[in-house]
């Protein structure tokens, strides 16, 4: 398992950086203590094409696919995306607040964006995630946990866990037991 490096500005040194405008400062007293795993594919069920990057940077062309008309005006982001081949793209510094969780609650505390890191996996609720994604996700979680000591082993959850009834990702295709074994 490769331990990755995060610089003083909160950027992963081995990631491709594609800066999103969709972020702001975390509240002054917030402490990073949660990692939220998401699943995304654009268009739905399709992989590749760079549409996720365009979406997180407000550059999605609504004429490229009929589904994009529904989401083109949304301003969202995640800290990182792990593509199907394991390639990591970082959109927002870990020190800043990415806009990934929306209305959310974890252990009774609202506004998860304030104290979490959002990691998107390129995938869907129904297609299995790739081996490369699990290995990169494990490396990233271990790196984040060592860099942000308030992130404890049980502080990794899915978007569906913090927004039940509203979100389903990373979905039933995500193998939580596999991730737990990799993290041991």
Active site residues: 120
List b or e across 84-122, with b for residues whose CB sees 16 or more CB atoms inside 10 angstroms: beeebbbbbbbbbbbbbbeebebeeeebbbbbbbbbbbb
Nearest to 116, CA basis, from 128, 101, 137: 101
List b or e across 125-152, with b for residues whose CB sees 16 or more CB atoms inside 10 angstroms: beeebbeebbebbbbbbbbbbebbeebe
Q: Do 151 and 32 touch, CB atoms closer than 8 A?
A: yes
Alpha helices, DSSP H only, in the chain? 51-56, 68-71, 131-147, 159-162, 176-183
């Amino acid at each position: 398992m490769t331990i990755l490096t995060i610089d003083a500005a909160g950027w992963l040194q081995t990631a491709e950086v594609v800066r999103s405008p969709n972020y702001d400062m975390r509240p002054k007293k917030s402490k990073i203590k949660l990692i939220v795993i998401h699943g995304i594919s654009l268009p739905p069920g399709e992989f590749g094409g760079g549409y996720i990057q365009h979406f997180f940077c407000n550059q999605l062309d609504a004429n490229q696919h009929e589904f994009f008309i529904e989401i083109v005006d949304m301003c969202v982001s995640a800290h990182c995306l792990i593509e199907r081949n394991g390639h990591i793209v970082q959109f927002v510094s870990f020190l800043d607040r990415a806009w990934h969780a929306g209305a959310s609650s974890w252990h009774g505390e609202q506004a998860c964006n304030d104290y979490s890191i959002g990691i998107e996996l390129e995938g869907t609720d129904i297609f299995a995630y790739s081996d490369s994604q699990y290995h990169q996700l494990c490396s990233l979680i271990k790196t984040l946990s060592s860099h942000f000591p308030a992130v404890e082993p049980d502080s990794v959850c899915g978007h569906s866990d913090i927004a039940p009834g509203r979100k389903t990702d990373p979905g039933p295709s995500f193998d939580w037991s596999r991730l737990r074994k990799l993290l041991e």
